[in-house]
């Protein structure tokens, strides 16, 4: 009876070193660009640090966070964007892509029309959108034709976040193209078989389309949530333009106009760190942002995994 000999220790060690060698680019990148910055952020969060002096303050930065009204306002606004803006953007992109797959003619023209806004620079698009939605803008004039009092989109705290949501839905070109490619890749014979069995449009969408495109749906949702948690440029530009403030030297403008309704966690982190130079407290906010990103991503991954497992049964 033959026996299987174990690999010599030197050979196993050589294979382990070879594996480390192949993994070394990733390990170096992980250590330099993730592990070290994360450890440094935790370290500085226990200090008062203004880029010149470093003073240990223990949990003072964390205690200040608990009573910082602007931080809590920014968290509320950011969660609003995650819960409402991201689903609206994903569903609108999916709906537009689905409609484009049903067009018999002119599909190329409408694809171009819906994709063009995503090619416009973010700052230029945001400034244009603020002027488009100003009280005397074309959208409000159109609404008033029906006898409806048009809102002051970026001048009213109750309408500023819906205005940002409309801006996000206007720029769904990239999301729409990803969904369009996924929908066109769904096998046609599955729909034909379902139609023969008597399945309606909704049943086909629920039982065939969604399970097939679930990886793309997961990707779009996860990246959308991460993007919303780091939402910065559009909200900052919109609040500045609506308030009539320019970024001139000596400007003391605090983001969030009107009434902190557009202040996001990323904006407040930037303001605290690079305007007030309170780096220790900014590190606390950065850790909070990292925790939110991790928790939301894990929740979404588990939900999509459960959906896929349920669809397989």
Greater model confidence, 7 or 164: 164
Cβ neighbours around 259 below 10 Å, total: 12
SS3 19: helix
246 has a pLDDT exceeding 70: no
Q: What pLDDT, in 10s, does the model give residues 6-49?
A: 556 666 777 778 878 888 888 899 899 999 999 999 999 999 99
2 has a pLDDT exceeding 70: no
Greater model confidence, 310 or 101: 101
In eight-state DSSP terms, residue 67 is T
Of the listed ranges 122-126, 168-172, 195-199, 246-250, the least confidently predicted one is 246-250
105 has a pLDDT exceeding 90: no
1 has a pLDDT exceeding 80: no
End-to-end distance of the chain based on CA atoms, in angstroms? 45
For range 228-252, the mean pLDDT: 81
For range 156-174, the mean pLDDT: 91
The proportion of the chain whose per-residue pLDDT surpasses 70, expressed as a percent, equals: 92
Place of tokens 């390990």: 27
DSSP letters, 115-161, are HGGGGS-HHHHHHHHHHHTSTTSHHHHHHHTTT-----TTTSTTTHH
In eight-state DSSP terms, residue 105 is S
pLDDT at 77: 96
Supply the pTM of this predicted model. Answer: 0.86
Residues 6+ apart with CB under 8 A from 250: none
For 69, 115, 165, 241, the CA distances from 171, given in Å and listed in that order, are 32, 8, 10, 19
Contact (Cβ atoms closer than 8 angstroms) between residue 235 and residue 265: no
174 has a pLDDT exceeding 80: yes
pLDDT at 225: 93
For 255, 274, 290, the CA distances from 77, given in Å and listed in that order, are 12, 21, 17
289 has a pLDDT exceeding 60: yes
pLDDT at 130: 87
pLDDT at 206: 86
pLDDT, averaged across the chain: 87
- The strand pairing partners of 56, in sequence order, are 47
Q: What pLDDT, in 10s, does the model give residues 175-197?
A: 999 999 999 998 888 888 888 88
102 has a pLDDT exceeding 50: yes
253 has a pLDDT exceeding 80: no
Greater model confidence, 42 or 249: 42
């Amino acid at each position: 009876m033959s026996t299987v000999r174990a690999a010599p220790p030197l050979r196993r060690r050589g294979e382990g070193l070879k594996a480390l060698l192949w993994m070394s680019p990733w390990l170096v990148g992980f250590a330099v660009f993730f592990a070290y910055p994360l450890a440094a952020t935790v370290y500085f969060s226990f200090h008062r640090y203004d880029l010149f002096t470093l003073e240990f303050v223990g949990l003072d930065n964390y205690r200040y966070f608990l009573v910082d009204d602007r931080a809590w306002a920014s968290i509320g606004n950011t969660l609003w964007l995650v819960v409402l803006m991201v689903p609206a953007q994903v569903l609108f992109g999916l709906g537009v892509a689905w409609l484009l797959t049903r067009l018999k003619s002119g599909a190329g023209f409408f694809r171009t029309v819906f994709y063009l806004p995503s090619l416009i620079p973010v700052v230029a698009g945001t400034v244009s959108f603020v002027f488009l939605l100003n009280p005397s803008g074309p959208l409000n004039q159109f609404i008033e034709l029906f006898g409806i009092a048009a809102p002051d989109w970026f001048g009213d705290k109750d309408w500023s976040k819906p205005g940002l949501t409309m801006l996000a839905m206007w720029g769904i070109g990239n999301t729409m193209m990803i969904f369009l490619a996924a929908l066109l890749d769904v096998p046609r014979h599955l729909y034909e078989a379902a139609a023969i069995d008597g399945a309606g449009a909704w049943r086909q969408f629920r039982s065939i389309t969604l399970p097939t495109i679930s990886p793309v749906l997961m990707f779009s949702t996860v990246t959308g949530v991460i993007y919303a948690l780091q939402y910065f440029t559009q909200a900052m530009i919109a609040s500045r333009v609506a308030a009539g403030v320019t970024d001139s030297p000596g400007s003391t403008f605090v983001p969030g106009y009107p009434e902190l309704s557009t202040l996001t966690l990323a904006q407040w982190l930037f303001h605290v760190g690079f305007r007030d130079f309170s780096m220790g407290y900014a590190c606390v906010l950065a850790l909070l942002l990292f925790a939110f990103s991790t928790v939301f991503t894990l929740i979404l991954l588990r939900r999509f995994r459960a959906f896929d497992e349920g669809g397989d049964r």
